[in-house]
Structure 1
Amino acid sequence: MTVEPHPDLPPSLYKYCSQDAARAILSNQTLQFSRPGLFNDGFDLRIALAINIDEKAVIERALDQIYEGAYGPEPFLPGNKLGALLLLMRVFFRNKPEPDAFREAIRPAIEELIANRKNMLRQLCNELAAETAKFKVLCLSSSGTIAPMWGNYADNIHGAALHFAPREEDSLFLAARPVSYVDHDPILFDDQGFTDWLSGRRGLGDSDLLSQFLYTKTAEWAPEREWRIVAGNGWKPDDEREYVEFSTRDLEAVVFGFRSNATFRGEITKLVTERYPECRLREMRLADGQMTYEIVDL
């Protein structure tokens, strides 16, 4: 099945590897998808959501919208169970109550919902975290010259970065999506959004909560320039790791760290020559006169 790529999908994606990981990936022609509990970020797929509202304004607006939903002349599309109930009230309770009396009768329930929104959010985030904790994820980067990545994931520059460029219509890498980096909790609802939810016009499913969980990290991780491929629960839901085959044509290059030794380079060169005929061998090195890395052909 053809995957619709993200509109900003970069032409190249990189997997930083230790020497052992590079040998295993190239020998088996597979990449490891892992549960987030194995990642080095304890908050991965455990983000907190926020509801930033003006409480008084939301209460008054929600009361108005609930009355309009039950007794107003204009149609509306229900977004949750309350919305469906309000539509039923239009059918079975045709005698309109006095608006102010109606508002005051339901005001305590609305105020209680707003007062308890933090508990609601906490429960929602815990439920989403429990669901996504079973997901399998492959983490990649849009750049092959990130110094901390070479230090943290590539054996302190002794390892390699595998350079992938999707060439097949059904390439695994076409499913990659970018990670967003935030310095504050993502906003679930603003004033109008929360008002619509309280008055039955909007459901939690109208917000892409799952994507926020899967593709959001704190700003401290922004230098990684991460793209990730999410495989849901995977093909073997009980396993913490799964190994997924990729096309040999999608391996554009193996980029050696400049500290990698001759033995490692020889082993990888042999594997590439035998199994990846379209793959190039390259090296990451210090750029002349600059405090940056560059990648050059060998």
Structure 2
Amino acid sequence: MDYELTRNDLTHFFKYTTAKTASIIIGSRSLRWSSPLLFNDPFDHQGGFDFPFTGEALARTLTQASLSAIFGEKPFEPPFATPYGEMLKATRANRDKGPREVLVALLEESAREIAERFPVLCEKLNTEITAKLTRSRVFCVTERRDNLLMWAHYAEEHKGVAFQFRRLEHLDHRFTVAQPVKYSDEPVSFLGLDDYIDKLMGMAQHDLVPRIWDLAYRKHADWRYEEEWRVHVSLPEGEDPGLGYSNDKEPPELFEAIYLGCRMNAETMAELVPMIRANLPDTQIFQAQKRKFGIGLEFKPVE
């Protein structure tokens, strides 16, 4: 289920954390990549496809298309080989060797079985997709250092930290293929009914892989404020997922700047600043401050 990701052109990404987490990151120079199963959003990577048709509609339309393929005046010559299409070709070639009504009855019986099994097949497909997508490690970043909701929700109500990561093109760093999250009220849809039948019969090819990957980069519109980008890395087959996270060492030049929250107390600041200077000496340090006029933040260098 490989999918080639495009490279982004952003020069910076940001990550909001608590002061405690920041201390661990600074001390180890490592970032935690997590399984989606550990995310605070239980629908992230786990929504599955929405199916825009019922089993009954599939059975009815597939039966009509199959009868047309077998008994129609035009030759049935699908450009792509599929099991169902090959079966239709073989049936068409032998259509005059038995009563037509028997063949129609068999197709209708098969249609009823499809209609009955369809909900189970949909659930099975979504379960398999979720298992595949969540067998991974994901790191989430955002576009801005001054997102007030992100400071409130992820940086300990402005008592935490925001990291600024620089683009490391020369190292081909994973952040260069971070992809923006799409926010929508609409679920990711499976193929439409006609497209799916064309795929079954070999009349057209419809690649489901991009739709599956869309599930890994989509969240409900309620999360839009995060302005999130993320990197998704699938675990190799057979690798033990362990506790659901990996702590990966990063090059020191990735850490371009660190912003301390406007509510960070003096004691925490006194612990973090020397740690930053010792472990990440080339990283700039800023203190967030509330603007004197209006609502927003400004950042002053820490001397």
Where structure 2 has 5 or more consecutive residues not aligned to the other structure, the ranges are none
Q: Deviations over 1:100-148 (max 9, x none)?
A: 8666642443454356543322221122223333322212112222222
What is the correspondence of 1:81-120 to structure 2 with a 5 Å cutoff? 81-86=83-88, 89=90, 94-97=93-96, 105-110=106-111, 112-114=113-115, 116-120=117-121
Distance in 1, Cα, partners of 2:296 & 2:286? 17
Residue in 2 that maps onto 1:26: 26
Residue in 1 that maps onto 2:153: 152
Question: How many residue pairs were aligned?
Answer: 291
Distance in 1, Cα, partners of 2:70 & 2:251? 54
Residue in 1 that maps onto 2:228: 226
Distance change in 2, residues 1:199/1:292 (3 Å): farther
Residue in 1 that maps onto 2:162: 161
Taking only the aligned residue pairs, the percentage that are identical comes to 21
Q: CA deviation at 1:40?
A: 1.2
CA contact (8 A) 1:183 1:219 kept: yes
Q: Which moved more, 1:229-238 or 1:239-248?
A: 229-238
Q: Deviations over 1:203-257 (max 9, x none)?
A: 7863434313321221111111111222222775323221011121111110111
Distance in 1, Cα, partners of 2:11 & 2:166? 6
CA contact (8 A) 2:8 2:177 kept: no
What is the correspondence of 1:205-284 to structure 2 with a 5 Å cutoff? 206-233=208-235, 237-284=241-288
Q: Which moved more, 1:247-256 or 1:207-216?
A: 207-216
CA contact (8 A) 1:236 1:242 kept: no
Q: TM-score, normalised by structure 2?
A: 0.80
Distance in 1, Cα, partners of 2:250 & 2:243? 19
Distance change in 2, residues 1:223/1:164 (3 Å): same
Q: TM-score, normalised by structure 1?
A: 0.81
Distance change in 2, residues 1:26/1:62 (3 Å): farther
Q: CA deviation at 1:57?
A: 9.0
1:44 pairs with 2:44: yes
Distance change in 2, residues 1:15/1:267 (3 Å): same
CA contact (8 A) 1:62 1:195 kept: no
CA contact (8 A) 1:16 1:154 kept: yes
For 1:196, the aligned partner's letter is D
Where structure 1 has 5 or more consecutive residues not aligned to the other structure, the ranges are none
Distance change in 2, residues 1:270/1:83 (3 Å): farther
CA contact (8 A) 2:78 2:202 kept: no
Distance change in 2, residues 1:197/1:162 (3 Å): same
Residue in 1 that maps onto 2:133: 132
Distance in 2, Cα, partners of 1:137 & 1:61? 39
Distance change in 2, residues 1:261/1:130 (3 Å): same
Distance change in 2, residues 1:251/1:117 (3 Å): same
CA contact (8 A) 1:255 1:281 kept: yes
Distance in 2, Cα, partners of 1:69 & 1:278? 72
Distance change in 2, residues 1:152/1:56 (3 Å): closer
Q: Which moved more, 1:120-129 or 1:55-64?
A: 55-64
What is the correspondence of 1:58-77 to structure 2 with a 5 Å cutoff? 59-60=60-61, 63-64=64-65, 67-68=68-69, 72=75, 74-77=77-80
Residue in 1 that maps onto 2:177: 175
For 1:113, the aligned partner's letter is I
Distance in 2, Cα, partners of 1:237 & 1:163? 29
Residue in 1 that maps onto 2:194: 192
Q: Which moved more, 1:142-151 or 1:260-269?
A: 260-269
